[in-house]
Amino acid sequence: MPLTRRTRLVLAAGGALLTAGAALAVHAFTGTDADAGLQPAKASGAPHCRRITDTAPTPLGGLPRRDSSLAGVAVWGKQDIVLRCGVTPPHLTPDPCFAVDGVDWIIDRAQSAGTRKVIVSYGRTPATQVVFNGPVQTDAALVELSKLIAPIRQTYHCIPSR
């Protein structure tokens, strides 16, 4: 028996609803609000990155950790602190350098502005980038994060800023 125009429209609408529902379900399982606008780094699948994100502290800088579905990414607060492991290691740079508990870090001035501070581990591969957005306790957070970075063999040192 041939389908009427009305029956075909109802079936098409039902199919569209099922497709939309499936797309929402996939998003719910593969993406989180913590990941909005974020991309994993090129080498985010490195074993050190997996260890760093698996063992990253639950609270950091007074902020709760949020689940991320992205490899090599950890997020605290509403992206107040974002860690991305596996970024390209920085080379010689005039950017300010400092050490925290034996781990060298540089402030990436090109990406930092206003209340946004971008800090990258220096002399270790894979490198780890930490973005601080707003008034976050950066010193306490870097002490905790340096513990995670320290096991990566350091191949060169930066010259601390004075």
Query: Tell me: the pLDDT tens digits for 135-152?
Result: 888 889 999 999 999 999
List the chain domain ranges: 1-30, 35-149
CB contact at 8 A, 110 and 93: no
- Return the pLDDT at 10: 53
- Return the pLDDT at 152: 97
- Return the pLDDT at 28: 39
Query: Tell me: the pLDDT tens digits for 3-62?
Result: 676 655 555 544 444 344 433 333 434 446 778 889 999 999 999 999 999 999 999 999
CA distances from 72 to 56, 134, 142, 151 (A): 11, 22, 17, 16
Residue 162, amino acid: R
Query: Across-strand partners of 130?
Result: 83, 119
